[in-house]
Chains A and B, each alone.
Chain A
């Protein structure tokens, strides 16, 4: 917490939780997907469903998916912009269970890829991503984050950390999640600095790596 968290963020109103946080959730999902989604099903949970409309939460989520920041004055027009760009979107009310009241599940598709992300807006525009493609994660978008999907096996973490440490990248957190022993695994690595394309490439060329995705640090407005 610093003075600019108190006098800030710069954002489009009316609510840091319902609006600014929702933009950042959309932005996180877009960056994880790696490109503009072609279709999106947005499942609103709890108070996102109950009071989201009046707070512009659906607009804010769309704005994030369209690549806007929390202080973009285009946010109120996000629905029209999405239609213009041919984004096929739909909202529904969902029950995600025992999660934060301001939560949403985004099911995205673009070209050949599909992605499901669930996240909560936890106050002040801060977010917590808690599920990616069925894997439990705990990410807040404050760090540059690398996500690696691979079949669970011994030594995967060591290979990844070796590449990162050889590149002088400091790891803030690293968590591996898997469906079952020897099943599919997802590793989430939060870094202090943005990795170079070379580092990401080296990770992609590790044996048995199915997918390596990168989400840059999410900014606030202004």
Chain B
């Protein structure tokens, strides 16, 4: 069976034919397209990973406060809660949540991040991949490969649907990041390309229809906490695929459906800040008009 170029199925077919992981297919494709040697590309990816690592550390170490007052050091708060033994499902789970919050907060506060695939969704991949790698003792080499898998999945989504909240709602932004992370986690844990496909399908199906409704038009609320949701969703979906569960829809079909749903989401729910949570009055004191966020 042949598949349309640029679909996940076409990359998967190539991986299976060559008997290599999806990351190898994506890496080789990138090398061809850019004219750069694979080693150079791997080094570049490692640089980006290190920027992500610094962002994870930064928001945990020091409470981040945004200019709007909507972001008030929740990642650091979560970190203290974990240190105090409060974690619901054990520290590994809570650290995943804290890492996603941290990177997204650093972004909201004008810190240095890697947009992946967008700045609004920048917490999902680092949280999911670094935390699982840490838990499972995976080294940087395996992580670099996983990031290529994530990037390749992003390319497919960009081609078949969209990666932008303005075009497709938050399903296209945090949702895509979550699907990219889910697939990458499967490969990191030694899953097959078919299992990657299932994980991507699960992750995107789970957030189908998610609107984009940034309060005051800023990537702060609900965005930061949606990054935590995206990271947790990625881990859950990777785990389901690795356990042998199969999606009844192929990832490509789910991605295309996400694109279709996105185009039909009314404009007020696509990053215009004219619908959803964006138009709810903020709770709190009324005198300053900023709710209790006047801090």
| B192-211 interface bits toward A, Cβ cutoff 8 Å, 1 = contact, 0 = none | 00000000000000000000
Q: B60 an interface residue at 8 Å Cβ cutoff?
A: no
Question: Which A residues from 29 to 69 make CB contacts under 8 A with B?
Answer: 47, 50-51, 53-56, 59
Q: Is the CB of B45 within 8 A of A7?
A: yes
Q: B109 an interface residue at 8 Å Cβ cutoff?
A: yes
Q: Is the CB of B216 within 8 A of A11?
A: no
Q: Is the CB of A54 within 8 A of B218?
A: yes
Q: Is the CB of A11 within 8 A of B112?
A: yes
A6 touches which of B33, B119, B158 (Cβ 8 Å): B158
Interface segment, one of A12-20, A181-189, A193-201: A12-20
A3-B26, A54-B218, A56-B67 known; A222 vs B47 contact (CB < 8 Å): yes
Kindly state the separation between the CA atoms of A2 and B48 in the bound complex, as whole angstroms.
15
Q: Is the CB of B118 within 8 A of A16?
A: yes
A3-B151, A7-B116, A7-B154 known; A13 vs B45 contact (CB < 8 Å): no
A19 touches which of B106, B119, B122, B166 (Cβ 8 Å): B119
Q: Is the CB of A6 within 8 A of B109?
A: no
Kindly state the separation between the CA atoms of A124 and B154 in the bound complex, as whole angstroms.
14
Q: B96 an interface residue at 8 Å Cβ cutoff?
A: no
Q: Is the CB of A13 within 8 A of B119?
A: yes
Q: Is the CB of B119 within 8 A of A10?
A: no
Kindly state the separation between the CA atoms of A1 and B119 in the bound complex, as whole angstroms.
17
Kindly state the separation between the CA atoms of A124 and B273 in the bound complex, as whole angstroms.
19
Kindly state the separation between the CA atoms of A56 and B116 in the bound complex, as whole angstroms.
20
B115, B118, B120, B152: residue with the most chain A Cβ atoms closer than 10 Å: B115
B219 touches which of A1, A7, A12, A15 (Cβ 8 Å): A15
Q: Is the CB of A8 within 8 A of B48?
A: yes
A76: chain B residues within 8 A (beta carbon): 110
B106, B147, B219: residue with the most chain A Cβ atoms closer than 10 Å: B219
* Number of chain B residues whose Cβ lies closer than 8 Å to a Cβ of chain A: 49
| B16-36 interface bits toward A, Cβ cutoff 8 Å, 1 = contact, 0 = none | 000000000010001001100
Q: Is the CB of A15 within 8 A of B158?
A: no
Q: Is the CB of B112 within 8 A of A16?
A: no
Kindly state the separation between the CA atoms of A124 and B114 in the bound complex, as whole angstroms.
12
| B42-60 interface bits toward A, Cβ cutoff 8 Å, 1 = contact, 0 = none | 0011011001000000000
| A207-222 interface bits toward B, Cβ cutoff 8 Å, 1 = contact, 0 = none | 0000000000000011
Kindly state the separation between the CA atoms of A203 and B117 in the bound complex, as whole angstroms.
41
Kindly state the separation between the CA atoms of A124 and B173 in the bound complex, as whole angstroms.
12
Q: Is the CB of A56 within 8 A of B216?
A: no
Q: Is the CB of B110 within 8 A of A10?
A: no
Q: A95 an interface residue at 8 Å Cβ cutoff?
A: no
B45, B113, B158: residue with the most chain A Cβ atoms closer than 10 Å: B113
A2-B34, A3-B30, A54-B218 known; A13 vs B106 contact (CB < 8 Å): yes
Q: A131 an interface residue at 8 Å Cβ cutoff?
A: no
Kindly state the separation between the CA atoms of A204 and B120 in the bound complex, as whole angstroms.
45
Q: A144 an interface residue at 8 Å Cβ cutoff?
A: no
B119 touches which of A3, A11, A53 (Cβ 8 Å): A11
B120: chain A residues within 8 A (beta carbon): 14-15
Q: List 13 A-B contacts (CB under 8 A).
A: A6-B116, A7-B45, A12-B112, A12-B113, A14-B107, A14-B108, A19-B110, A19-B119, A51-B218, A54-B216, A55-B219, A59-B110, A124-B164
Write the residues of chain A forming the contact surface with B, with a CB cutoff of 8 angstroms: 1-4, 6-16, 19-20, 47, 50-51, 53-56, 59, 71, 73, 75-76, 123-125, 221-222
Additional pairs, 15, CB under 8 Å, beyond known A7-B147, A13-B112, A51-B273: A1-B158, A3-B30, A7-B116, A7-B150, A7-B151, A10-B112, A13-B108, A13-B219, A14-B120, A15-B219, A16-B119, A53-B67, A71-B112, A73-B111, A221-B112
